[in-house]
Structure 1
Amino acid sequence: MSVSELLAVMEEAVAAREPLVLGTLVRTSGSTYRRAGARLLVTKGGVPVGLISGGCLEPQIAKTAREVLATGVSRRIRFDMTGEHDGIVGFGLGCRGALDVLLEKLEPWRLDAGTRRLLCGLNASHAPRALVVAFDAPPALEGLLGSLLEVEGGSSTRSASAEALREAARGLADEALATDKPLVRKLRVPEGEIECFVDLVPPAVHLTVIGAGPDAVPLVAMARQLDWRVTVLDHRPAVCDPARFPGAERVVHAHPENAAAHIPTGSHSAVVVMSHNYFVDLRLLPTLLKLDVAYVGLLGPRRRGEQLLRELADEFVPTPEQLERLYSPVGLKLGGDSPAAIALSIAAELQAVLSRSEGVHLRQHAGPIHVSEDGAEPESELESRKSA
């Protein structure tokens, strides 16, 4: 389920002024389908939108969400699949792990647009954002469970525990941002302890595709499925038709010397050059390598990229750091030469690079697929995931 689909449900609820239930995966152990921070929405009609498991747990989550909608009281539910015979009885998921999900009632029209987007996983800033979720507390403090958000029309008077929790949560968010890791911590307030999860929502990926030819169409479509924000640039006005790229935010007619002005930059920004024009690429390459982007992919055989760099040598010699960001030829070696297969190859490499992953076969990967929010790396993770 994509971020855009979650956001569409949220905005529909705002327009209708209908409440939702937000489900947040706040803690995992062992092997689970998704990591802590995954979210889903349950509509007033009891329909779950989004995935926290592979679809197996969502019916039970939706059933409990109806109770949360009726009472307005947040609930934490735990699913434990670590039993010896869970593949036969119980949830029968095959993944030997446990997870905790917090369900909270939301009145989304009371949230500003930026907060609604953030809760759906869309971070429009250029840096990670931290979301603190209080998910476990003694009975006297259960009213404080939920995402610690400022809401429009909220009460101007809060209890001492609520104020203390918000103040401590700010420090916890700062710690998570400083370490670039999600956290689970117990925070002390006057009436007891509350356990909190800090989720880090990364910035949205900005992909700029230079070249609006037919082979760019599947790449843009695939990027949209991944919830990346896409800009398409081309020096030929005849092909700059937004109707050909419904997944792109912008389709821009721009010549190589003006391209930089239209390219988003930052640690989650990438450029893929597929102009099929040697002289256009020759003019573009120095500009692109000087930009603050994480990835520059160049379509074409290796010798073509090497020739471009040799021809540029008199006026531009890339630094080692710039060369590290240049992927020529672009993509992972997956096989296939159709436009869709090439798009998959490029998207897979880009996902690996931005996630700082090796991009290897999982069966050859010795460690866990996902590292849990507390940094633990369960030895059984890989074997469990194989059976899931």
Structure 2
Amino acid sequence: MKELLVILAQLESLLASGEAIALATVVHVDGSAYRRPGARMLIDSNGNWWGGISGGCLEGDLLKKAQLAMHQQAIKRITYDTREDDPFQLGIGLGCQGLIEIVIDPIRTNIERTFTLVKSIVESGKPQFIQTVWNDTEFSIQALEDAFPGWNEASQTFTEYLPARTRIWVVGNQFDACSLIELCLTLAWEVHWVGNTNKMRKDVQQRVRACYDWDQVHGLQPSDCLVLMTHDFDRDVSFMNQYIADQSFQYIGILGPSKRFDRLKKQLQHNLVSDISTPVGLDIGAEGPDEIAIAVVAEILAHQNKRDGQRLKFRSTTIH
């Protein structure tokens, strides 16, 4: 999501300037590849680019092809095949062994329509499918409530799933809350901060979406993630009774040992609907606020992606 936000911000500037641009989109991958379908790379006429379609191995060659597409004002369909050790094939010796199909679109009206739709979906905070068609006679792009992601070669149609931007509520204003917030901001998550606003770090306050005092929280949604790290038992009890009990959320994590949570549950006035992760975070032996933040974010990602957090070397099926 962070890369997409960077591309959208740069696109807004470039579209206003009138400069020639091209937008490359990965539409199909077969085998191993660093990026998946939906990855994008924005290129301007000066050779600058944002985003990427590989781990850095293919961007240089794609840049040349994008400049040609801009010059000709023609959509290009590019295939990189690194599955075989062919000395005449770009990609020889690369770490990944897969086929990557990319569409380079330099047509300004197409890019404008893509920008408008994608930005509106991101700002809505809701996940949606996007279906884009590049054929010889027309370009179309639309949002769909339900669809099957993939690339249809015959109709030149690409359907992708665009997940919602992660919204996280960090509850507590101790220094470890700041470590978690910093990491979430690095990932371009939408951060809401709850605590004593008078004690919150001012520089961090300016970078989150919103700050709330303990009893003034509003706008919680079922798709939100919540992490309680108040270091205050009574405060956790009060917050859970007021905002969490009888409510369903995507993820809830609470700092502290299991015995503390057992005591906490006895103080609740209503039932818990959501599953609670406590102690919060994956078991990576984290020490200190920064490592704990990594463990918490890793657990949220594993939960969102329906993974168990094991080491990839032990995964018996493909990564994606």
The two structures have a TM-score, normalised by structure 1, of 0.75
Matched positions, count: 316
1:94: how far off? 2.2
Distance 1:210 1:238 in 2: 14
Q: Could you say which residue in structure 1 is the equivalent of 2:271?
A: 317
The change in CA–CA distance for 1:67 and 1:91 in structure 2 (over 3 A counts) is same
Contact 2:27 2:103 in 1 (8 A): yes
5 Å-filtered alignment, 1:156-235, equals 174=144, 177-178=145-146, 181-185=148-152, 193-234=154-195
Residue among 108, 115, 118 paired with 2:117? 115
Does 2:16 align with 1:49?
no
Distance 2:90 2:116 in 1: 43
Kindly provide the CA deviation profile for residues 94-121 of structure 1, in whole angstroms up to 9, marking residues without a partner as x. Answer: 2111010100015379448642526xxx
The amino acid of 1:200's aligned partner reads Y
Query: Per the alignment, in what secondary structure is the counterpart of residue 308 of structure 2?
Result: coil
Q: Could you say which residue in structure 2 is the equivalent of 1:384?
A: none
Residue among 260, 283, 287 paired with 2:238? 283
Contact 1:2 1:225 in 2 (8 A): no
The amino acid of 1:183's aligned partner reads G
Contact 1:33 1:54 in 2 (8 A): yes
Residue among 332, 336, 350 paired with 2:300? 350
The two structures have a TM-score, normalised by structure 2, of 0.90
Distance 2:251 2:34 in 1: 29
1:133: how far off? 2.5
Contact 2:247 2:272 in 1 (8 A): no
1:248: how far off? 1.3
Q: Could you say which residue in structure 2 is the equivalent of 1:383?
A: none
The change in CA–CA distance for 1:300 and 1:355 in structure 2 (over 3 A counts) is same
1:85: how far off? 5.6
Query: Per the alignment, in what secondary structure is the counterpart of residue 101 of structure 2?
Result: strand
Query: Per the alignment, in what secondary structure is the counterpart of residue 290 of structure 1?
Result: coil
Query: Per the alignment, in what secondary structure is the counterpart of residue 287 of structure 2?
Result: coil
Does 2:255 align with 1:255?
no
Contact 2:86 2:92 in 1 (8 A): no
Q: Could you say which residue in structure 1 is the equivalent of 2:257?
A: 301
1:241: how far off? 4.5
Query: Per the alignment, in what secondary structure is the counterpart of residue 47 of structure 2?
Result: coil
Contact 2:170 2:194 in 1 (8 A): yes
5 Å-filtered alignment, 1:369-388, equals 369-370=319-320
Structure with the larger RCO, 1 or 2 (CA within 8 Å, 6+ apart): 1
Distance 1:113 1:62 in 2: 20
1:71: how far off? 1.4
Q: Could you say which residue in structure 2 is the equivalent of 1:336?
A: 286
Contact 2:8 2:115 in 1 (8 A): no
The change in CA–CA distance for 1:70 and 1:214 in structure 2 (over 3 A counts) is same
Residue among 307, 313, 320 paired with 1:363? 313
1:223: how far off? 1.0
Q: CA RMSD in A?
A: 2.4
Q: Could you say which residue in structure 2 is the equivalent of 1:379?
A: none
Distance 2:26 2:98 in 1: 13
Contact 1:220 1:245 in 2 (8 A): no
